[in-house]
Amino acid sequence: MTPIAWQRLEGAALAAAALAGAVALDAWWWPLALFLAFDLSALGYLRGPRAGAFAYNLVHSYWGPAALGAWAIAAQVWDVPGDVRWILIGASSWLFHVGVDRALGYGLKLDDHFQHTHLGWIGRRGEERGH
Domain count, the chain: 1
Q: Is the pLDDT of residue 128 over 70?
A: no
pLDDT in tens, 27-51: 999 999 999 999 999 999 999 999 9
Closest Cα partner for 38 from 58, 19, 11, 18?
Answer: 58
Give the burial class of 16: count Cβ atoms within 10 A of its Cβ; 0-12 exposed, 13-18 middle, 19 or more buried: middle
Q: Is the pLDDT of residue 126 over 70?
A: no
pLDDT in tens, 72-97: 999 999 988 889 999 999 999 999 99
Average pLDDT over the chain, rounded to an integer: 93
pTM of the model: 0.91
Residues spanned by the domain of 32: 3-128
